Amino acid sequence: MEEQIAAFVTYLHNVKNTSQNTELSYQRDLRKLCAFLKARGIERAEDVTAVSLNAYIRYLEQQQFSAATVSRNVASIRAFFHYLFREHLIYADVSERLKPPKVEKKAPEILSPQEVERLLSQPGDHSPKEIRDKAMLELLYATGIRVSELIGLQVSDVNMQMGFIICHDRNRERAVPFGTKAKVALTEYFFKARSALVGEPDQGTLFVNYAGAPMSRQGFWKLVKHYAQKAGIEGDITPHTLRHSFAAHLVANGADLRSVQEMLGHSDISTTQIYAGAMQDHLREVYAKTHPRG
């Protein structure tokens, strides 16, 4: 089945224009299924049955994987077997009746404006690293872009004069504005810090580490954790928390959902609508904690 999995991933890439992360996710899920089936003497796709697929899903649940993880595996399996059936590589789509578990949608974690202010005020201006960190945090909150988009930004993607950045994905580009504070932090970074960090003079990546190479997701994740701890912010704060907070704060201050959807790069507005509910839940929680009769 390994060759068929490879062909399926190639199909996703060439025909469906999926992202690299999506392709790796499908590949990882299907290889785990392949190993499970192989241990039970099933090595050909045409020998897989609905019973063996259901056994694998039960196995995942017994291993206490989350409902979201099991649901993602079901989606990967169904997409793969649908592809095999459409390509006439199997006689029947045995995944057709495979049902994912119900996934309870959790409200996104958001910071209050005061918590964001404390977090963004942590990096100083005493070293190139602190100046870079300040610029990254300010830009992330100012634009709500994904971490992968932040660390993938090129110098040429930043228009300082007009105050916007260009984000790229496989299907399109989008322009996202940023405000005065992010502009000030970026200006400081360009003129006071970047040249001290960049190894190669022709390095086009906007944010680099001490080695002059592009920042990694893990490196930035640790950076956020460090400053959140310094700011005394409790909870599991991740870079995505700033994206959630950006969106929720815009909605709370009257931004229309379509504009927020465009800035976030959501393909479906229903994904953006969660921020309206999240902000209402947050306000109710604050009210309950602080109002004398809450």
pLDDT single digits (tens) 176-213? 999 999 999 999 999 999 999 987 777 899 999 988 88
Which residue ranges does the chain devote to CATH 1.10.443.10? 113-290
Instruction: Answer left, alpha or beta for residue 106, where phi above 0 means left and psi between -120 and 50 means alpha.
Output: beta
Token pair for residue 208?
Answer: 């680099």
Note the pLDDT tens digit of each residue in 79-132.
999 999 999 999 999 999 898 887 666 667 888 899 999 999 999 888 999 999
**Secondary element (H or E) of residue 165:** strand 164-168
Which residue ranges does the chain devote to CATH 1.10.150? 2-86
Closest CA to 113 of 292, 284, 290, 282: 282
The confidence score (pLDDT) of residue 5 equals 94
Assign 61 to helix, strand or coil: helix
Q: Which carries the bigger pLDDT value, residue 271 or residue 57?
A: 57
* CA atoms within a 13 Å half-sphere pointing along the CA-CB vector of 201: 0
The confidence score (pLDDT) of residue 174 equals 86
pLDDT category at 166 given cuts 50, 70, 90 is very high
The confidence score (pLDDT) of residue 286 equals 53
Report the pLDDT averaged over residues 167-182. Answer: 84
Q: Which CATH number fits domain 2-86: 1.20.81, 1.10.10, 1.10.150, 1.10.3470?
A: 1.10.150
Angstrom distance (rounded) from CA 12 to CA 7: 9
Token pair for residue 128?
Answer: 């190139």
The confidence score (pLDDT) of residue 173 equals 83
CATH 3.40.50.720 is held by the domain 113-290: no
Note the pLDDT tens digit of each residue in 16-70.
888 888 899 999 999 999 999 999 999 999 999 999 999 999 999 999 888 889 9
pLDDT above 90: percentage of residues in the chain: 55
List CB contacts of 76: < 8 A, sequence separation 6 or more. Answer: 25, 26, 29, 30, 33
